[in-house]
Amino acid sequence: MQHRKLGSASLEVSALGLGCMGLSHGYGPATDRSEAVALIRAAAEQGVTLFDTAEVYGPYLNEEVVGEALAPIRDKVVIATKFGFTFGDDNKQQILNSRPEHIRTAVEGSLRRLRTDVIDLLYQHRVDPEVPIEDVAGTVKALIAEGKVKHFGLSEAGAQTIRRAHAVQPVTALQSEYSLWWREPEKEIIPTLAELGIGFIPFSPLGKGFLTGAITADAAFAADDFRSIVPRFSTEALRANQGLVSALKKIADEKGATPAQIALAWLLAQAPCIVPIPGTTKLHRLKENIGAADIALADTELNAINTALAQIKIQGDRYPDSLKARVGR
């Protein structure tokens, strides 16, 4: 597994990380704990060093699983987690909260669940419009000075927010959605990151599973699967977007790879500071995803991919209306 540096920071990680959310949250029932621990450890054995989690995944359960899995090799891996929410009495309602005192409370909880004395990369999960980003960055700066955090990150933040935060405490990485079917970051976010020397961690690099080709036009999602409320996964949108998968599969067949591997290899080719974090609950998918790090796409192949995809108009929003306001602030 090759390694990459996140922007101009000193943080070096594997070219592909592991997004751990789906093991506990978002896509149906949580994976059996022993199986989840085994999968995370298998990723580490295959060269993955960046593991992404958050207190909201569960809530709390995912951090506990990640902490248990990585405790024996803590000094060999990079753990990224996130703060930014409080939860209702049923632990289901997510309420934005990045007040400085809450950040400190959240960090103490994360340290305990992750079984560590320092968080390698701490993200603000979503921008809180009620708290100036300078206050957020200042709080994380103090936590870094205290030795509880090593690096500061933002998630789904807008370009101006990134600049304001970076002026207070250098931002090591931005985590936002980016893939062959969501290329909005190319307009303003990626140029801003390049200018400031900030790494980019794309989540949902496989389009929440769609780019693997395993989701058909007639797919149905359970009520506890986040995709059940995402417009892009409606029957109409899935049917309209199948052309993207067909084009990707054709390119993959020519390369002797899978659609998922081409989607990940394409992301890796966009910039040397991009580190996708595909998630999975299956060991064979983990191996498949990791194999993408060994696929080099020539300029002619990248041009062919861009040409093919430019002819396809993606249908459906990536978030329901209730969540749109939380991104791009």
Return the active site residues.
57
Dihedral angle, C-alpha 187, 193, 194, 195, nearest 10 °? 100
Give residue 206's Cα distance to chain centre: 10
CA dihedral sign of residues 251, 190, 52, 90: negative
Residues in the chain: 329
Position 97: which residue type?
Answer: N
Beta strands (DSSP E) in 78-182 are 78-83, 85-87, 94-96, 119-124, 149-155, 171-177
CA–CA distance, 242 with 264 (Å, rounded to integer):
18
CB contact at 8 A, 264 and 289? yes
